[in-house]
Each structure stands twice: as structure tokens, then as C-alpha cells.
Chains A and B, each alone.
Chain A
């Protein structure tokens, strides 16, 4: 019998929600790391019982946690993230130079093949790698040392590296995204990187089509088509079919194309999900109605999914790492809100129900399908 494990990072701890393959009855464990901000929890595809968690606090900084038993027990691992060499400066909000300073880990991405290899996307934006199960971390410094690095600038949430995608067809290729620098790709295992932002247009930077400076909120990929990526930018939903060499807008009939999350159906690579948010200054659903939008055509044509979601007086946000899918035959979709709800759909989005209602503000949601 299959089992689904949902890993939820919140403002005040981590929670683990489990159910059998029917996904009807959910057990909730937690809070783990109570009182700490848990930006992200993710399991290793190579060993699903190996989990990594980013635990952080404004008082005490960064802690990394590891579980080897699916989240029943945890142990702190290495928490020293030291930039390679003299870090230099990036742009501050007003365009002045600002020193690179480590603040926190936003996203952990275990290797698809080796549970001891894990990547961490951090603020101020950089990529780190551990090859010993998180005990020690080394910067993948070719990214931050890219010639455009001194031009990167923070978005409203900070200058965070929030998306890390391993190419399932090519272990030397990886995609990352930074708010607000844009998307980057390596084809040589991280030694060199290229910005992949052609086609993006952002009105909040002096040159709307600049090589870097775009506030990318999230990128998603279906593993059967690694050259096809979907992006929720600050404004605009985008798509590339050539691994980021060129992007085109697929916002289509969305009521607003601002948002944070984006994800792809586990078995239908042209079925994409977003949660439109009213605007960059009003971070809640349009008209107080929480609607997931689904496109079955790879973008442009979107349908609102509302059954089971609040359709009045709803003013929560859905943050960039807070949507995930399972890989059961009837694909499950999950997302968490800043109001502390985790909603799940066991029918690819047709209907929804809350599987947790009153958690602290949800930062991240990941799903493991266990067999």
C-alpha cells in the first residue's frame, strides 16, 4: 500500500503529515524544532527516509537538521556556510553596493542519486553543496562569481536562491533561480553558469529585458521533459522549451499573473498549476477567493479550481516553496498558506480539502510518495 508523507515548513516549526494512498485520513506529527522558522524540509529521492531541514532564527542564525528515519528523529548537522574567498558586493535595493552576507538557507535539494549529496540555496544568494550528508558545506562559487554577480539585487523577501532543479537526463546540468537576479543554468556540474532570462520582461528594472535583475519566484519541471520549464515570475507566468535559452509568456487568461508557486502534474507534463495572487503589494487572492488555476495545455488556457477552497474573505498568501505534487496514479496536489492551512487534492485539483487547518504560517510544502 502506498503512503504519502507531506513535509511542511512553517514560521514556528516543521510538521509531517502522513496518509495512506487513499489520502483521506491524515496524521500530523510536530511541531518539530518548535519555535524556529523552518524554511524547507525535503527528502532524498535516493533514500526517502533521509530528510534535510533548514531551521533558522533571527536570534540564533542557521541550523541544519537531518533525519535518517523519515522524520521520527533528527540530529543537527553542519551549519557553517562560508562564502568562497572574499565575497565582495551585490546591489542593495537602492542600487548601491552591499556586502554579501549569509542569512539563511531557503531551499535544500538532495541529489537524485546519492542521499549524502545535498545542495542548499541561501540568502544572500549562493549555492552550497554537501557531500557528507550535511556535515560540511562548500560553496559552488562559480555561480556567485558570475560576471553579473555584482548587479544582483534583493527582492522584497531578500536576495534568496530558492529554486534548485537537477536535470534528470543530465547529471551535469542544473537550474537555479534567484530573487531578484533571475534564472541560471550550469551544463558542467556547477563550474560555470549562464543567465537564462531571455524573453523575460520586468518593468521594475531600468532595462525591462536585462540579462539579470528579474524577480523569478519559482520554476518547475516535469522530469520526462527536462528542457521544458515553467516559471512564476513576480508578474507573468513563463515557459521555455529549450532549457531556458528563450522564454515566452503563457499567462493567457489568468485573472492576475502575479504569484509565487508553480508546479507540474506528476504524469501530465503539459498540466501546470499556479495560485494567482492579486498584486505585488496585495499578497492575497483576488477578490478574497482562493483559487488554484490549472492549465492542461502547457499554459495560456487556464481554468479555476475552487471546489473545497474558501471563496470569500480569504486573504492568505501561498509562498514560493509551498506547493508540491505526489506521484500516485491519481496525482495529488498540495499547497500551504500563510494562514496555516495545508490543502490537498487527490484528484489532480478538481476538489480540495484542508489536511491541516491551523498551523503557523506555511513556508514550504514537499511531498514524498512512499511505496
Chain B
């Protein structure tokens, strides 16, 4: 079970109030987690990754275990604590504004 925390505007879009728990077949990577997330919540397609290219949208970031994973390969293994469900995979809107 992998835990995903969405930013508030995407929680509202997906109609979820709390973190999302997903069954993701190993290996746990950004791609496999986001694929599972978008399968469960199709309204999130295009809002975290671009349609077509599946690239991370420029103002979205991925954090876990106090690390910034935004620039990791989408196929790199996520930290073991995320794969084990001990720590969440955080989808974060980049800080903007004052």
C-alpha cells in the first residue's frame, strides 16, 4: 500500500479529503504510482503530468522522506519507506507568489 498526499486543489478535484492509499504492483516508481493514481482518479490526468509526454508539469514537485524527487527518473525506485507505506509520496504545488 502506497500513500500519496495531494495538494489541496487536486484533493478537491478528485473529491478526496485525506491522503490516498493505492495498491501499486512493485517496483514502486513515480511512474507506477502516478499511473495507479490516475487510474483510480481519472480527473487527475493532465494535472500532475502532461498529457502525451507524461512529463511532470513544470510547477508540480514530488517529495518523499525529506528529499526532492522531482528530477529523478520517473522509472527510478522510490525510497523503501514509500514503497512500504511508512512514508507518503508527496505531490506538491511549487511555491509561488509572496
Contact = CB atoms under 8 A, between A and B. Distances in A.
Interface of A: 33-36, 57-63, 76, 79-80, 82
B46 A80 contact: yes
Nearest to A55: B13
Nearest to A36: B9
A60 B8 contact: no
Contact of B51 (A33, A59, A60, A82): A82
B43 A63 contact: yes
B94 to A, nearest CB: 7
Contacts of B13: 60, 63, 76
A60 B9 CA distance: 9
Contacts of A35: 8-9, 12
Contacts of A58: 59, 96
A89 to B, nearest CB: 19
26 contacts: A33-B12, A34-B12, A35-B9, A35-B12, A57-B47, A58-B59, A58-B96, A59-B7, A59-B57, A59-B60, A59-B93, A59-B96, A60-B48, A60-B57, A60-B59, A60-B60, A60-B93, A62-B46, A63-B46, A76-B43, A79-B45, A79-B47, A80-B46, A80-B52, A82-B51, A82-B52
B46 A59 contact: no
A36 B59 CA distance: 15
Contacts of B94: 59
Looking at chain A's contact residues, is the secondary structure mostly helix, strand, loop, or mixed?
loop
B77 interface: no
Contacts of B43: 63, 76
Q: How large is the interface on B (under 10, 10 to 19, 20 to 34, 35 or more residues)?
A: 20 to 34
A59 B9 contact: yes
Nearest to A62: B46
B13 to A, nearest CB: 6
Contacts, number: 48
B22 interface: no
Interface string B85-98: 00000000110100
Contacts of A82: 51-52
B10 interface: yes
Looking at chain B's contact residues, is the secondary structure mostly helix, strand, loop, or mixed?
loop
Contact of A61 (B8, B12, B46, B96): B46
Contacts of B46: 61-63, 79-80
A103 to B, nearest CB: 12
A58 B8 CA distance: 14
Interface string B20-52: 000000000000000000000001011110111
Contacts of B45: 79-80
B12 A60 contact: no
Contacts of B57: 59-61
Interface string B70-88: 0000000000000000000
A36 B12 CA distance: 10
Contacts of A63: 13, 43, 46-47
Given A62-B46, A80-B46, A57 B9 contact: yes
Given A59-B57, A60-B59, A61-B47, 12 more contacts: A36-B9, A58-B96, A59-B60, A59-B93, A60-B9, A60-B10, A61-B50, A63-B43, A79-B45, A80-B46, A80-B51, A80-B52
Contacts of A80: 45-46, 51-52
Nearest to B52: A82
Nearest to B41: A76
Nearest to B60: A59
A224 to B, nearest CB: 41
Contacts of A33: 12
A63 B47 CA distance: 8
Contacts of B12: 33-35
Nearest to A34: B12
Contacts of B60: 59-60
A51 B65 CA distance: 43
Contacts of B8: 35
Q: Which of A36, A57, A60 has the most CB of B within 10 A?
A: A60
A80 B54 CA distance: 12
